[in-house]
Structure 1
Amino acid sequence: MSAPIAHGGGITAAAVAFGGRPEDWLDLSTGINPCPVALPDIPARAWHRLPDRHFVDEASRAARDHYGCGEILPLPVPGTQSAIQLLPRLIQADDTIAVTDERVAVTDSRVAVVSPTYGEYARAFASAGFAVDTVDDLAAIGSEHRLAIVVNPNNPDGRVWPAEMLIALHGRMKSANGFLVVDEAFGDADPALSLTSRAPQLPNLIIFRSFGKFFGLAGLRLGFAIARDDILARFEDWLGPWAVSGPALSIAGSLLRSDVSPIRGRINERCAGLHGVLKGAGLQISGGTALFTLVADARAGDIYTHLCRHHILVRKFDYAPDWLRFGLTPDPAADRRLGEALQRFER
């Protein structure tokens, strides 16, 4: 089994290392809306009973209408990370042999992951015994790949692939009897980037959507998979019964039918505030999405430590030591706190 990947979050560990109470830290290490929406009323039966089918169906219909995926009813999943863990089963290697505690592929099947990106995709397939090719361009994905993964917009650099290029890639994958996975976890802030409206015409496409990032409810652990019926049926079977809680389904059914334009407006406002602070500190913005900003700076490691000493956590990257990712601040007061800490950094 490969080593765990370091992600954003981890305020508890940061507080142990640098002091202070976790609740007093400013956590800018994730790409989550820092202004969570108000929770809708949740019926008592959602807490009292196992999640009945009508809760699942209502959340699926609300997701279908929200994402605009036509006749496809998205499958609620307990966070898209859970669906990532299932992907290797779609293309399980024909032959594997056990070597101590590892599984080593003895097949020509390969998986392509457009990188750098969210590390759990490569880890899930490598752990299942697949050869994983990390590529930097769609053109590098060939007929030898049984499955290709594109995060769009990408985490952590915000790179965006035009829809027509992804549709052309789907055609190549389909011709080779392979699948294309497009992770749109950060797609809610700019729906024009999404392939969801094309999904009914793209049978070998699987789209993942995150719920918690945009609504600021990551602790709910909820996402949706959008694909043809037989693929979703397999995912549902593999997840087992009652995979998503009744309260999560109820909340999704309500919020996905609400007017989300104020949420987008608030996110854009917070993004502008963050950019103002970073530029004011002389930092170079090299990428990002509405929910996070990537900074490239040779002093990134020192800036990270300096901010931790001021009880502000950002995301650093072991594979790119000159990168820092800043999540959104929740309000102008937090902008000032970040700005003051950056101004104290000795250049």
Structure 2
Amino acid sequence: MRQIPAIETQELAGAGHGGNLSAARRAFPLAPEPWLDLSTGVSPYAYPLADLSAEAWTRLPDPSALCALESAAALAYRAPEGAAIVAAPGTQSIIGWLPHLVPARRVGILGFTYSEHSRVWRASGAEVAIVEDLAELADKDVAIVVNPNNPDGRLVAAQDLRALAADLGKHGGLLIVDEAFMDFLSPGASIVPDMPPAGVVALRSFGKAYGLPGLRLGFAIAPDPLAAKLRAALGCWPVSGAAIAIGSTALSDLTWLAATGKQLAIDVGALDETLVAAGFNVLGGGPLFRLTGHVDVSGWFETLAKAGILVRRFDARPSWLRFGIPGREADLSRLRGVFGLD
């Protein structure tokens, strides 16, 4: 079996991101094209793009249109009265700004989870603890919960998060809830509809659920003082005219979101059946990804990559592979073919 160069292994198996097809092509130059990218938690169903007006490209984004986008997000996410909605070029930009806007010495993260939270707070000089019990977050200056969790789909009840926020509030702490994968779950799973008026910021990703990660659009739902700081940090035109136009339409299209969620549930069932038949243990996940365990993760990762299928591995969890959802029957058949099931 060919030894993958160390730099390519790091690019393909780090805990932060999937989707690095350029690294995959360098590591596996003989793999067939096109690649099937199952390494991200992005919906295979992109929201249908209508023709945009020329002004979306030729004029600076209009402030009133940005307000309309944020109002659409407030309705879509069921934000409570008085909560501020801040649009940003992806939730990643918000994650990167928060350590600069919120003074914190001790940060706690409910892990194992998306590593960018840990990275940005450590870079700011904070002392970061990865904990396994929600109660261990109560004495921190900032507590972070990815909910549902990436990569295992762990879901913390909204009432438990509100209780944690109350404990943090006793000493002026902040709870950050990253709901990047919340869209296809029940509204009651989200902290946003009954979010406390202070001490909590929730993050919502647009690109994952709507299959448009290249649009770079995300939102923070936050108390006014923190929202004002975030707006100032992001500057005058935080998102593009195209993102405003497409996001406003898509977030208002509840029929499309519901239909897509139903289709994804069917797709998840078919993928789980395939993975189990191939000898994988399904450990968890959600509507946009499935986490599996296997005794030969390295072997299967390489076998799939040689066939032009990129999945997600984790250096810190060497027995895990995460699979995105194949959206077309041809893509699922391609995966089944590699597994020898067709």
1:325 aligned to 318, 322, 325, which one?
322
Q: Given residue 263 of structure 2, which amino acid in structure 1 is its aligned partner? A: R
Q: Judge conservation of contact 2:279–2:294 (CA < 8 Å) in 1.
A: no
Letter in 2 for 1:228: P
Q: Is the 8 A contact 1:40 1:254 kept in 2?
A: no
Tell me by how many angstroms 1:202 deviates. 3.6
Per the alignment, residue 116 of structure 1 pairs with 112
1:5 Cα offset (Å)? 5.7
Query: Map of 1:61-72 to 2, 5 A cutoff?
Result: 61-71=71-81, 72=83
- The secondary structure found in structure 1 opposite 2:194 is helix
Alignment counterpart, residue 148 of structure 1, candidates 143, 146, 153: 143
User: Which residue of structure 1 lines up, in the alignment, with residue 103 of structure 2?
Assistant: 92
* Aligned positions, number: 325
Aligned to 2:50: 40
TM-score, normalized by length of structure 1?
Answer: 0.90
Aligned partner of 2:70 among 50, 54, 60? 60
Give the equivalent residue in structure 1 for 2:234. Answer: 239
- Take 1:112 and 1:41, find their aligned partners in 2: how far apart are those partners? 45
The corresponding residue for 1:104 is none
Match of 1:288 in 2: 285
Structure 1's consecutive aligned runs of 4 or more residues displaced over 6 angstroms after TM superposition are none
TM-score w.r.t. structure 2 length? 0.91
**1:17 counterpart residue number:** 27
- Partner residue, 1:208: 203
After TM superposition, give the deviation of residue 55 of structure 1 in Å: 1.5
8 Å Cα contact 1:113/1:122 also seen in 2: yes
Q: Give 5+ residue unaligned stretches, structure 2.
A: 1-10
In structure 2, what is the equivalent of residue 297 of structure 1?
Answer: 294
Assess if the C-alpha contact under 8 Å between 2:158 and 2:188 holds in 1.
Answer: no
Unaligned ranges ≥5, structure 1: 94-108
Shift of 1:213: 0.2
Paired residue type of 2:58:
H
Measured in 2, the distance between the counterparts of 1:166 and 1:284 equals 30
Residue by residue over 1:297-339, the C-alpha shift from the partner in whole angstroms, topping out at 9 and shown as x without a partner, is 1211111011111111000000000000000002111111101
One-letter amino acid of the counterpart of residue 207, structure 1? A
1:84/1:124 contact within 8 Å kept: yes
- The structural deviation recorded for 1:20 is 4.7
Deviates more, 1:131-140 or 1:42-51: 42-51
Cα distance, 1:273 vs. partner?
Answer: 1.9
What letter is aligned with 1:113?
I
CA distance change for structure 1 residues 40 and 195 in 2, over 3 Å: closer, same or farther?
farther
Tell me if the contact between 1:42 and 1:250 (Cα under 8 Å) persists in the aligned partners: yes
Partner in structure 1 of residue 4 of structure 2: none
Tell me which amino acid in the other structure corresponds to 2:238.
A
Query: Structure 1 stretch 40-49 or stretch 228-237: which is displaced more?
Result: 40-49
Q: Is the 8 A contact 2:30 2:306 kept in 1?
A: no
**Cross-structure match for 1:50:** 60
For the 8 Å contact 1:59–1:253, the answer to whether it is kept is yes
1:337 aligns with 2:328: no
Q: What CA deviation, in whole Å up to 9, does each residue of 1:211-247 have, x standing for no partner?
A: 0000000000100100111111100101112121011
- Native 8 Å contact 1:76 1:223 kept in 2: yes
Output the CA distance in 1 between the equivalents of 2:98 and 2:17: 20
| CA distance in 2: counterparts of 1:204 and 1:92, whole angstroms | 13
Once the two structures are TM-superposed, the CA of residue 131 in structure 1 deviates from its matched residue by 0.4
The letter of the residue matching 2:319 is D
Q: Residue 287 of structure 1 aligns to a residue in which SS?
A: strand
The CA deviation string for residues 9-39 of structure 1, in whole angstroms up to 9 with x for no partner, is 1112111211257851111000000121201
Please state how far the C-alpha of 1:146 moved relative to its aligned partner. 0.6
Shift of 1:73: 4.0
Distance 1:22 1:126 in 2: 40
